[in-house]
Structure 1
């Protein structure tokens, strides 16, 4: 839900971060924006990777079988095709414009492998923490093809794909009461502005993946360059304006959990003992 009208204050850029080139899986090249030294996390968000390349050798090896426990992964595809499989029998194909919101819960082992040998592969993977009460829940998926992700067009030159949250009375299909997330893919024509009310108390970031923007108004207005992430703060009314080129950006927000985080690789728990148990359970085949 959008924030209450009784507490409207302008949002501003608190800090900007650029991602670092890295590789993961079996050598997939990507840019890590959250989860690196500059921004280890932003409660409840643990990791944000952007991948985008025309070179098959950068992605073809994919992500063979690997485990997860204690958090959620959100894969949003812009271009290309990835096949998901897990040891619980779930299988799905992510095509351009589709999203998979996977709640790993107590644990699963899955693979993410490109289902193409050439062409563009582009998208994002976001990791979102789960509260302690949900870390050992049954794994589940919320998976949606492009046609099932609604598009809001609040004014001319503005198009918002609503994955989670609400825009102009249009609700995204993803539901997660623990963090009440917002996940929007924003497209603005050059010079066009758009305002949005963020949920009160949420942590939020904006990542421009095509074009540049101005965030905020008056003396607090700051530029956001392409491939730059802005941590938002100071208020809940986001004023966004595209620069001289069309803007594409993702806006993500979530209720912070404010719980201890003990993480190593694909396991995110609350205590060291729980983390060690996750390794034992995986090694003994209890996922």
Structure 2
């Protein structure tokens, strides 16, 4: 089984928020996922400016906070905070204008935002949004680990775990997997799915191949895998069925053709993106 290692890279977004990014726009290599951003800092200069009002079209986002918090506001009048252990889902559909601003002025901020590609048939649907509270995201114990499933279904050591979000593009699954020392967990990658494992803390081996902090493994072949860690580790586990559709990307817009991107830009400039 081929395991591809993808190195994340430092970047910035919003009003200068420092992030670590893995993206797959160029070759649509993470399909149905588009991008994963991680914020990890206890310096408010790295995150305090937040993400002021900005548009999106054609994607869904899933924000998961391990420490700290952000508040979402959008053009539909929605307002809600997501804090430690919670998640937030947004479907931009044909258009949304929203902001994501920190709920704290200092202290540790650690979280992730995942972009998922909407299929062509859903890119122009109405926008939607919701918070997923801590009570909906329990930790499930395993023999040598614990898992929190945010969306879809994950099977580990022949146990199936379900998350509250069950209709993500590509039947995607998203989970936080924390490994204890000397952990050894079995996961199967079914045929027709892409499996991604991003290590945010510590070091893991995947079928004996080592991944260090801020590296992502990509597996597209079906088969069984062993996830192990000698000293414990934290990781995000992502799985989804590729949409296999063309991707045109410009900033906050992701469509299928350049003409659709040009239309999105015109709609935003003319104030009709969300109509």
Quickly name the TM-score band, shorter chain normalised.
over 0.9
Q: TM-score, normalised by structure 1?
A: 0.89
Give the 5 Å matches for 1:137-286.
137-155=125-143, 157-166=144-153, 167=155, 168-176=159-167, 178-216=169-207, 221-243=208-230, 245-286=231-272
Q: Could you tell me how far apart the structure 1 residues matched to 2:221 and 2:104 are?
A: 44
1:74 is matched with which residue?
62
Structure 2 stretches lacking a partner, 5+ long: none
Q: Could you tell me how far apart the structure 2 residues matched to 1:150 and 1:113 are?
A: 25
Structure 1 counterpart SS, 2:170 = coil
Does the C-alpha gap of structure 1 residues 134 and 76 become closer, same or farther in structure 2, counting only changes over 3 Å?
same
1:124 is matched with which residue?
112
Is the 2:170–2:242 Cα contact (8 Å) retained in structure 1?
yes
1:110 aligns with 2:98: yes
Q: Could you tell me how far apart the structure 2 residues matched to 1:133 and 1:91 are?
A: 28
Aligned residue-pair number: 269
Q: Offset of 1:82 from its aligned partner?
A: 0.5
Is the 1:13–1:222 Cα contact (8 Å) retained in structure 2?
no
Q: Could you tell me how far apart the structure 1 residues matched to 2:169 and 2:6 are?
A: 26
* Bigger RCO (CA 8 Å, 6+ sep): 1
Structure 1 counterpart SS, 2:235 = strand
Q: Could you tell me how far apart the structure 2 residues matched to 1:63 and 1:13 are?
A: 37
Q: TM-score, normalised by structure 2?
A: 0.93
Which structure is higher in strand share?
2
Q: Offset of 1:119 from its aligned partner?
A: 0.2
Is the 2:191–2:221 Cα contact (8 Å) retained in structure 1?
no
Structure 1 counterpart SS, 2:18 = strand
Q: Offset of 1:184 from its aligned partner?
A: 1.1
Q: Could you tell me how far apart the structure 2 residues matched to 1:273 and 1:113 are?
A: 32
Q: Offset of 1:151 from its aligned partner?
A: 2.5
Structure 2 counterpart SS, 1:253 = strand
Is the 2:151–2:168 Cα contact (8 Å) retained in structure 1?
no
Q: Could you tell me how far apart the structure 1 residues matched to 2:191 and 2:24 are?
A: 24
Structure 2 counterpart SS, 1:66 = strand
Give the 5 Å matches for 1:8-47.
12=1, 14-35=3-24, 41-47=29-35
Structure 1's consecutive aligned runs of 4 or more residues displaced over 3 angstroms after TM superposition are none
Cα distance per residue 1:258-279 (max 9 Å; x no partner): 1111110001111121111111
Cα distance per residue 1:163-222 (max 9 Å; x no partner): 123342431101226410111110111111111223431112101111111111xxxx21
Q: Could you tell me how far apart the structure 1 residues matched to 2:100 and 2:190 are?
A: 32
Structure 1 stretches lacking a partner, 5+ long: 1-11
1:64 aligns with 2:55: no
Is the 2:152–2:167 Cα contact (8 Å) retained in structure 1?
no
